[in-house]
Amino acid sequence: MFFIFGISNGRKQLDYHQSTVCNVCGRYGSYQVFMEYMFFSLFFIPVFKWNKTYFVKTSCCETLYTIDSELGRRIAKGENLTLGEEDLHVVQRGRYFGIKRCRQCGYTTDEDFQYCPKCAQPLI
């Protein structure tokens, strides 16, 4: 008799979508909720899960938040709740955070330039 077992990471997307105006990039997007967990498997069958963490990702700029596991559990059960700013804890800001765009020529940069390096227009 021998056992095949292992510990792995899993990720599951929850059935949740909420439209929002993103407070990181200022565009329309939606929140997607997913859960990450560790699981122990025996003969490739997950036996138990633990360490569940719930994440929220915006579709506009892929800013990543965590939410309280209590909220996550309610979403996982199918409860139709609304996530507010106070529920979201930023893990990583999205790809458009801190990017400046020149109004004149459209040049974008994430560096701290005062003036556009292409056309010398002041950047805001």
- Contacting positions for Zn ion (CB under 5 A): 22, 24-25, 58, 60-61, 94, 102, 104-105, 107, 116, 118-119, 121
Opening angle at CA 99, ends 59 and 60, nearest 5 = 10
Q: How far is the CB of 17 from Zn ion (least distance, A)?
A: 15
From 72, 37, 40, select the one nearest 51 (Cα to Cα).
37
Q: Which is nearer to Zn ion, 56 or 58 (CB)?
A: 58
Tell me whether residue 35 or residue 61 sits nearer to Zn ion (CB atom): 61
Q: Are 93 and 62 in contact (CB under 8 A)?
A: no
Nearest distance, CB of residue 106 and Zn ion, angstroms:
7
- For Zn ion, the closer CB: 41 or 109: 109
Cβ 99 to Zn ion, closest distance in Å? 11
- Least distance (Å) between residue 32 CB and Zn ion: 12
From the list 25, 86, 15, 82, the residue with the least C-alpha distance to 58 is 25
Residue 92: Cβ within 10 Å count: 11
